[in-house]
């Protein structure tokens, strides 16, 4: 069985046919999905999806793009409160995005540190988004870790090696998306070869980043099988072995979930 460790099932491209999306995931051997919170004002919808299906859990958080629009609402206390729901198993996604900079960097950093405080307090994994912000991401993670440990994952990893290396130093996992199948992604494939398999997760980040051979289509959790196959090839493993390892890794990290697969 496979796990899609990061998807956005509340986004309209998927929510409009959610039963079919979930059915196709089951047929593809995807036994669990984690749907991700990006806005507190939309969190109730994310949580409702997780409540509706046994094999779906969710996270609560504010994407760095929303750090300005939700600045007044995102507090550690609020995240901790919302995380008490049994279906909420992670904090985020949060982090830094200097590629688009939809929010000022100062507000992104403030939000990031608030999420880290909530992750530390709850013991739930932190789900980190980082794009064109390698140095600051590493700096903040290590500064905060010195205040007290927390666990987490670098989601949709496509950064430089330092982000992987320095985050693994504090016990983080690295999640690989369909980008690893893209023709220009030679650097990422080299990094995947070097990441210990016991630190790897796989994801879709659907509805975005559909892997080869599904490029141009709306991504969905069933497509994680194509990403996993590429990662297995890079690691010199049978797809079944890679699926078993990454599934174990997922449940080791998101250990609030009662494992049924």
Q: Which residues are annotated as a binding site?
A: 6, 8, 93, 129, 155, 205
3-state helix, strand, coil in the chain (%, to 5): 50, 15, 35
Beta strands 56-60 and 173-176, pairing class: unpaired
Phi and psi angles of residue 100, each rounded to the nearest 5 degrees, phi first: -90, -35
The secondary structure of residue 124, as a DSSP letter, is: P
CA dihedral 10, 104, 180, 210 (to 10 degrees): 30
Tell me the two tokens of residue 213: 């051979």
Tell me the two tokens of residue 76: 């550690």
Q: Say if CB 64 and CB 94 are below 8 A apart.
A: yes
Q: Which residue has the tokens 């760095």?
A: 64
What number of residues does the chain have?
A: 261
Dist CA 157 CA 93 (whole Å) = 13
Question: Mapped to the 3 state alphabet, what secondary structure does 169-224 carry?
Answer: HCCCEEEECHHHHCCCCHHHHHHHHHCCHHHEEECCCECCCCCCCCCCCCCCHHHH
60: β partners: 91
Within 10 A of 221 (CB to CB), how many other CB atoms are there? 29
Which residues are documented as binding site for a divalent metal cation?
6, 8, 93, 129, 155, 205
């Amino acid at each position: 069985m496979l796990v899609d460790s990061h998807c956005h099932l509340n986004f309209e491209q998927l929510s409009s046919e959610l039963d079919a999306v979930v059915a196709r995931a089951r047929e593809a051997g995807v036994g669990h999905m984690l749907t991700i919170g990006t806005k507190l004002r939309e969190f109730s919808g994310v949580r409702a999806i997780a409540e509706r299906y046994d094999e779906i859990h969710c996270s609560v958080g504010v994407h760095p793009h929303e750090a300005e629009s939700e600045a007044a609402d995102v507090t550690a206390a609020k995240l901790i409160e919302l995380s008490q729901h049994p279906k909420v198993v992670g904090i985020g996604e949060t982090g830094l995005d200097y590629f688009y900079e939809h929010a000022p960097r100062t507000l992104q950093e403030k939000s990031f540190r608030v999420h880290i405080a909530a992750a530390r307090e709850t013991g739930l994994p932190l789900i980190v988004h980082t794009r064109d912000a390698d140095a600051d991401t590493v700096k903040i993670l290590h500064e905060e870790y010195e205040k007290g440990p927390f666990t987490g994952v670098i989601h949709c990893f496509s950064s430089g090696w330092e982000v992987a290396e320095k985050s693994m130093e504090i016990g983080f996992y690295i999640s690989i998306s369909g980008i690893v199948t893209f023709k220009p992604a030679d650097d990422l494939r080299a990094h995947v070869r070097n990441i210990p398999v016991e630190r790897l997760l796989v994801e879709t980040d659907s509805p975005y980043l559909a892997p080869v051979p599904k490029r141009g289509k709306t991504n969905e959790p069933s497509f994680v099988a194509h990403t996993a196959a590429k990662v297995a090839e890079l690691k010199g493993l049978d797809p079944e072995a890679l699926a078993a390892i990454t599934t174990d890794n997922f449940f080791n990290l998101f250990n609030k979930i009662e494992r049924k697969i």
